[in-house]
Amino acid sequence: MDRALGVELRTLSNLTRRYFEQYSHKKCIEAITGTNSWIIGYIGDRTEAGEDVYQRDLETRFGITRSTASKVINLMVQKGLIERQSVMHDARLKKLVLTERSQEIKRLMDEDHLRFEMALRKGFEAEELQTLFASLDKMKNNLKELSKEEKGDD
């Protein structure tokens, strides 16, 4: 085994983080962490598609616990990045919406993500990308199963 998948994935993760911290519009945007930017992008994309976003959606999409999601949302509300708004059909539910500040951040992030995604896909044929995504899905499922086994949740 000359190359370890974990090391390669970690290296790719580091390169991704470094790109978004150093070479993107992020330099122009103060006080936005990587996690906050991913959440802004997710809420913005779903909102543009005409869908409401709730805390549970963030938990599912990012694979985080309820308490982590709650903490992140509270901090983002304090920073003026998102707002909680009541919904008509259930007074207990609060949808998450972007503030005007976050909408501008989202526009800049979309430019960065498009440039980044194009760089990642460069040189790949459609079939290769399909295989890559299938492989990544298998790895994620394998890790989820391992996590369940470690917890004893067979």
130 and 69 assigned to the same domain: no
Residue 20 pLDDT greater than 90, yes or no: no
Predicted pLDDT of residue 143: 93
Q: Which domain holds residue 129?
A: 123-154
Tell me the average pLDDT across 108-121: 90
Q: What is the DSSP letter of 71?
A: H
- pLDDT of 27 reads 67
Tell me the three state secondary structure of residue 6: helix
Examine the domain organization and report whether 28 and 68 are in the same domain: yes
- Mean pLDDT of all residues in 100-128: 92
pLDDT of residue 150: 87
Q: Which of 104, 127, 114 is nearest to 44 (CA)?
A: 104
CATH number of the domain residue 101 falls in: 1.10.10.10
Query: Above pLDDT 90, what percent of the chain?
Result: 67
> Domain count of the chain?
2
Same domain, 105 and 137: no
121 pLDDT more than 90: yes
Task: Identify whether 15 is part of a domain.
Answer: no
Same domain? 147 vs 78: no
Q: Are residues 112 and 135 in the same domain?
A: no
Three-state SS for 28-39 is HCCCCCHHHHHH
Kindly indicate the confidence band of residue 35, based on its pLDDT and cuts at 50, 70 and 90: confident
Whether 131 maps to a domain, the answer reads yes
Q: pLDDT at residue 132 above 70?
A: yes
The average confidence (pLDDT) of the chain is 90
| Structural domain includes residue 127 | yes
Q: What mean pLDDT is predicted for residues 57-63? A: 94
Least confident of 17-31, 67-81, 92-106: 17-31
Q: Are 66 and 91 contained in the same domain?
A: yes
Residues in the chain: 154
Distances (CA, A) of 64 to 35, 39, 43: 11, 12, 16
The tokens describing 20, both together, are: 């978004």
State how far the Cα of 154 lies from the Cα of 21, in Å rounded to an integer. 39
Our CA angle for 47, 51, 83, nearest 5°, is 55
Distance CA 148, CA 142 (A): 10
13 lies in some domain: no
Examine the domain organization and report whether 142 and 88 are in the same domain. Answer: no
What average pLDDT does this structure show over 109-132?
94
The answer to whether residues 76 and 39 belong to one domain is: yes
In this structure, are 101 and 152 located in the same domain? no
**40 and 56 co-located in one domain:** yes
Residues 57, 116 within the same domain: yes
Give pLDDT, residue 84.
Answer: 96
Distances (CA, A) of 51 to 42, 45, 57: 11, 9, 11
